[in-house]
Structure 1
């Protein structure tokens, strides 16, 4: 999940605005979770579909 859609339970503001220390800490943690952490679920599914198609194509060519 991306932090631009999250709402802080402490200040009720969007986390990406970083209004309070809790928002800023959550935003920092989510930015450093990994290269795929900021991608939307739709993008991850699309990447997975491309990977599966590439593997299927390679398997078909080796037969």
Structure 2
């Protein structure tokens, strides 16, 4: 989830605007952790299955 959709419980403003210290801290924490923090377990599973399917296809193509 990006900061654009988060609402601060402290000031009730969008976290992306960083109106208060709580917003700024959360925005900075999310930016430091990178894009992988927003991945859900379902998304990670889908990525893993896709990677396995591509590896299987590459293995079969190399064998022929």
Query: TM-score category by the smaller chain?
Result: 0.5 to 0.7
TM-score of the superposed pair, with normalisation by structure 1: 0.67
Q: Which has the larger radius of gyration?
A: 2
C-alpha RMSD of matched pairs (Å): 2.6
- Looking at both structures, which has the greater relative contact order when contacts are Cα pairs under 8 Å and sequence separation is at least 6? 1
Deviations 1:10-57 (A, max 9, x none): 00000000000000000000000034346x76xx67x82753443232
Q: How many residues align?
A: 59
TM-score of the superposed pair, with normalisation by structure 2: 0.66
Uncovered stretches (5+) of structure 2, i.e. residues with no partner = none
Specify which structure has the higher proportion of helix: 2
